[in-house]
Amino acid sequence: MLSQLSPAIRQYLLVTGNYWAFTLTDGALRMLVVLHFHQLGYSALEVAMLFLFYEFFGVVTNLFGGWLGARWGLNRTMNIGLGVQVVALSMLLVPAGMLTVLWVMAAQALSGIAKDLNKMSAKSTIKLLVPDSQQGQLYKWVAILTGSKNTLKGVGFFLGGLLLTVMGFQGAVLAMALMLVVVWISSLIFLKKDSGKAKNKPKFKELFSKSRAINTLSIARFLLFGARDVWFVVALPVFLASQLNWDHWQVGSFLAAWVIGYGVVQGSAPKLTRNAEASPRKQARVWGALLTLCPLGLSLALWQDAPIAASIMLGLGLFGILFAINSSLHSYLIVSYARADGVSLDVGFYYMANAAGRLLGTVLSGWIYQVYGLVACLIISTVLLLLSTIVISALPQRGEQ
């Protein structure tokens, strides 16, 4: 069956399969760590801080990973990412007494490195599989990859909770590690060699030498994901637990369902943003403006003492739909604008900005919520989204960069 498909399709399926398998373990591991350390008595903010290295090393990895991908080939960086994730999972198989905060943070640091090597490689590889003239097809493939990733991340949340219940912490981690080893070996055998390797090996200084379009997209992405995580990562779960008195399994299940729905919308984004390739600036500006109104409206509703649960449900649902469309559109634009030769340099730089935005949002989410509350987090989110929309409006047309 697979032999009848074109080489490009086969490579796309292999890359997507790798990405899916990795994403399942990434989402499940996050939920395992959250639930396990909550059982040990850690507060929500303390648990969030366990992921600080995960986000920080995502910034570093995207910067250097893009350079390595251009020099070594994307198949190697993807396989390194899978291997590093196996090591990160194996670190958590030590006896319970050795699972100190620093040890878990170190394991999460490796997992952050692995995740962003895998993502950068997957997104960059798609650029090389689609002719430059077929921008509509490129948008669809990027949307499917991005949307399915987030859907599976939500499934991973459920999987992590299920495995923890059925097999315990170490049993769950061992099962995921063994599954990923099988995927890793298959990838080493079948993934096309030297995909994405630049014809001329890039110099280190090229990490920071970007076109106006790449810099514009990177700044917009930094602000976009900072705006999401400033209220979603820590503030929202703590608010649901403390103000609405939800149990932890309810919070986890609700957020997992939200992420799954978010991924479904991402995968459908090309149908919702028609002619995105013909006028990327207008599409990004319009959808960015609509998204900016969402946290603003929710903050006003909470400030005016509207029904809290109903406002959160409606606001979060609308935010998820609009954010998914914006994220998918931005993901397409970076792949579209990136150079074909050494594509991972541009994509890696862009996702470094993405990771930096998540890091900023994570830190601000805990601090602003603890000091000023959820409404303040939503106001900061609104400001960041407004800035992101203004920045993306300056994006040049393709060919003018």
Q: Is 50 exceeded by the pLDDT of residue 77?
A: yes
Closest CA to 257 of 156, 120, 380, 331: 156
When the pLDDT of each residue in the chain is averaged and rounded to a whole number, the result is 81
Counting Cβ atoms within 10 Å, is residue 186 exposed (0-12), middle (13-18) or buried (19+)? middle
282-331 pLDDT per residue, tens: 888 999 999 999 999 999 999 988 898 899 999 999 999 999 999 988 98
What's the rounded mean pLDDT across residues 377-400? 90
Task: Say which residues have a Cβ less than 8 Å from residue 100's Cβ, sequence separation at least 6.
Answer: none
134-150 pLDDT per residue, tens: 777 777 777 777 777 77
Q: Is 60 exceeded by the pLDDT of residue 197?
A: no
Q: Which residue has the tokens 């007494």?
A: 97
Q: Is 60 exceeded by the pLDDT of residue 401?
A: no
Three-state DSSP state, 338: coil
Identify the pLDDT of residue 133: 67
Rounded to whole angstroms, the Cα distance separating 351 from 225 reads 11
Identify the pLDDT of residue 342: 62
**More confident position, 118 or 311:** 311
What's the rounded mean pLDDT across residues 227-237? 86
Rounded to whole angstroms, the Cα distance separating 205 from 61 reads 16
Task: Say which residues have a Cβ less than 8 Å from residue 376's Cβ, sequence separation at least 6.
Answer: 368, 369
Q: Where are the domains of the chain?
A: 2-196+206-392
**More confident position, 128 or 17:** 17
Q: Which residue has the tokens 């962003």?
A: 116
Kindly state the tokens that stand for 57.
């090393």
Closest CA to 359 of 216, 196, 222: 222
Q: Most distant CA pair in the chain: distance in Å?
A: 61
Are the C-beta atoms of 361 and 233 separated by less than 8 Å? yes
What's the rounded mean pLDDT across residues 75-87? 87
* Domain 2-196+206-392: CATH architecture, name and number where available: Up-down Bundle (1.20)
pLDDT class for 276, splitting at 50, 70, 90?
A: very low
Rounded to whole angstroms, the Cα distance separating 340 from 202 reads 13
Q: Is 60 exceeded by the pLDDT of residue 277?
A: no
Identify the pLDDT of residue 198: 55
Q: Is 70 exceeded by the pLDDT of residue 194?
A: no
Are the C-beta atoms of 69 and 207 separated by less than 8 Å? no
Identify the pLDDT of residue 155: 83
**More confident position, 331 or 401:** 331
pTM: 0.78
Identify the pLDDT of residue 311: 92
